[in-house]
Amino acid sequence: MTVLVTGASGLLGGAVARALLARGERVRTLQRRPSGVPGTQDVLGSVTDPAVVARAVDGVTGVVHLAAKVSLAGRPEEFEAVNVGGTRTLLDAAQRAGVERFVQVSSPSVAHAGSSLVGVGAEPADPRRARGHYARTKAAAELLALARDGEPGAPSVVAVRPHVVWGPGDTQLVERIVDRAARGRLPLLGHGAALIDSTYVDNAADGIVAALDRAPAVHGRAYVVTNGEPRTVADLLGGICRAAGVRPPAWRVPAGLARAAGGAVEAVWRVRPGTDEPPMTRFLAEQLSTAHWFDQRATRAELRWRPAVSIDEGLRRLAAHYAGRR
C-alpha cells in the first residue's frame, strides 16, 4: 500500500510515517519542509495548493491527514484556510485520484465546550460551541471529511482524535512545559486536580495506523485515542518536568482568575501579537482546569488496537531523551 501522510514534519506525523515504513508500506509525505523521515518520498508544499495536492495523492491508496494550523492565537482566516480549506482540497483530490482510505486526524477539542468531559466517547464535533479558532476549524474539517464518506467514488473516511500527544522531541507541548517550568512561569490552575487523558506519541501513531487498516469496516465514524490512564494535571505536568530535570510547578492560580486573564491576554494578542504562543488563553485555562478523559472501549474494540507504551514507560523514555541531551 502507498500512503500519503500530510504534516509528517511534526511529532505525530513523523511517528505515523515511521510506523508505516516499519511494516513495509510505501510512504509519501506532504508538508512545507522536509519530513526528516528517512525512506519517505517528500512532496513539499501546502495542502491549500490544489496542484501540489494533486501531485501528492497521485497513485496512493490511503491518506493520513495531519497537516493543520495548530496555535492558541492567530487570525481566524488563517485557521480557516489551512484546517478547513486544506482538508477540502485534499478530499477533492483524493476522490478524483481514487484513494480508497482517508484518516482525518482531528482533536477531542472539537467536542469540548468549556466544561468537563468525563468518561465520554467521541461526542459529535460542534464548530458552534468549540473553543478557539483551532478547535472550531478542526470541528468543521472533521464534519466535512465524514460527510464525504459514502459519496460515489469517495474513500472510506475515519476521524481519529488523539488527546494530548506527547513524547521525546515534542516542541509543541513538552518543550513549552519544560521551558516555562524552568523559568518559574508554569502555575497549576486551582489545585491541579482535574483528571485528564493523554497519549504517548507511539500509541497515537499506532492508533492512527489501525484506523487506516480498519477504514473499510468502520468508515464514517470518529474515535478518541488515548492511553486510557487519566492522571491529574499536577501529576502529568510534574512527571514531564521531573523527566526533563526541572522543578515541577508549585504555585497556584484560581481557575476563574486564569480564565479571565486568558481572555484579557487574547484581546491584547489580537492587537499586538507576540513572537511565541500567548502565556495564557481562555481555551488553555479551561483545558488545564476541567476534567477530560474518555471511554476507550469502542476505540479499542472497533480499531482492534491497544496502547503498547504506558504513561510511566513514556516518562522513562522522556527522561532518557533529556539525559542524552545533557
The single-letter DSSP state of residue 292 is: E
- Distance between CA 234 and CA 291 in Å, rounded? 12
Evaluated on CA atoms 51, 52, 53, 55, the torsion sign reads positive
Inter-CA distances, 69 with 79, 143, 238, 264, Å: 6, 17, 28, 23
Q: Which residue has the cell 476563574?
A: 256
Q: Are 156 and 149 in contact (CB under 8 A)?
A: yes
Q: How many angstroms separate the CA atoms of 262 and 242, rounded?
A: 27
| 195-196 and 231-232 beta bridge pairing | antiparallel
Q: What is the rounded CA–CA span in Å between residue 63 and residue 143? A: 17
Q: In angstroms, what is the C-alpha Rg of the chain?
A: 19
Query: Are the beta carbons of 222 and 126 closer than 8 angstroms?
Result: no
- Report the alpha-carbon distance of residue 166 to residue 199 in Å, rounded: 6
CA distance 217 to 101: 11
Q: How many CA atoms are closer than 13 Å to the CA of 61, on its beta-carbon side?
A: 11
200 is catalytic: no
Catalytic one of 134, 200, 223, 322: 134
Residues labelled as active-site residues? 134
